[in-house]
Amino acid sequence: MGDGGIHKGHRQRLRQKYKNSGLDSMPEHEILELLLFYAIPQSNTNNTAHRLLARFGTLANVFEASIESLMQVEGVGEVAACLISMQSDLCRQYFKSKQNIVNETLSAENMGKIVCAMFYGVTVEQFHIICLGSGNRILAAEMLSQGSKSSAPVYTREIISRALNLGASRVLLAHNHPNGVLTPSQEDRDVTAMICRALAYIDVELYDHIIVAHNQYCSMRHDFHVDFKKLKNKDY
């Protein structure tokens, strides 16, 4: 069914509303409608937008849903599901590009903003490293692994390799907790100690390990008072 009857001209009116006032003036179901126009060219997308919000609750939850779960909603095919799922990834890439952190100096003031942007909209656990040069200049920021909602593999050999290849003097570790718990687990502490000692063998300092949950973060150095200089010499 097309946009006939009461829906005639609806798409153009919604596009015009966006052009005039932007997304801030639009309720969540209209934002979804507008997005779905580009994946569903003929059918009325209003009902589909409402079904998505009824299923997932909020626009953020819709964007963070898996492609498979999105396709379980009536009216959402593979093309629409991919387009919806892409939104949080696009936002994350936008923030990373906007920051352009390579050659920026990492500091206590900007560390949280930089690290939280890496995990924007991520619903599974990921493990990242930031390699630092002299004066805490950022040489590279990379995702090393991605796992499930509760864990991500850690490859010490890759961390060592990246640090050596980039000539890093320090390394910052970062991973997220999709469950929202902003506290390092015992496994987090054990992995941190292992990596700290491995880096010490190549004369690279472990600067900190940051944990991100729901766009908030904690520092194992500052919030949990981990002494990395002592950590490399004994069990923690």
Quick check: 1 pLDDT over 80?
no
| Adjacency order of strands within the sheet including 205-213 | 138-146, 126-132, 170-176, 205-213, 216-219
Please calculate the CA angle 65-33-39 and round it to the nearest 5 degrees: 75
Contacts of 188 (CB under 8 A, 6+ apart): 175, 209, 211, 220
Tell me the pLDDT tens digit for each residue of 146-169.
Answer: 888 888 899 999 999 999 999 999
Of 78, 7, 3, which Cα lies nearest the Cα of 42? Answer: 3
Tell me, yes or no, whether 39 lies in a domain: yes
Closest CA to 173 of 145, 150, 134, 149: 145
In a domain, 236, yes or no: no
Q: Point out the domain boundary residue: 62, 95, 128.
A: 95
Q: 222 is in which domain, residue-wise?
A: 100-231
More confident of the two residues 92 and 114: 114
CATH code, 88: 1.10.150.20
User: How many domains does the chain fold into?
Assistant: 2
- One domain, residues 25 and 138: no
**127 DSSP β-pair partners:** 145, 175
- pLDDT more than 90, % of the chain: 64
Q: Would strands 216-219 and 205-213 be described as parallel, antiparallel, or unpaired?
A: antiparallel
Strands (E), the chain: 126-132, 138-146, 170-176, 205-213, 216-219
Q: Are residues 151 and 72 in the same domain?
A: no
Q: Do 145 and 163 reside in the same domain of the chain?
A: yes
128-155 residues labelled b (16+ CB within 10 A) or e (exposed): bbbbbbeebbbbbbeebeeeeeeebebe
Encode pLDDT of 186-208 as tens digits.
999 999 999 999 999 999 999 99
pLDDT recorded at residue 75: 93
Q: Are residues 25 and 47 in the same domain?
A: yes
35: tokens are: 């997005």
Closest CA to 206 of 193, 218, 216, 223: 193
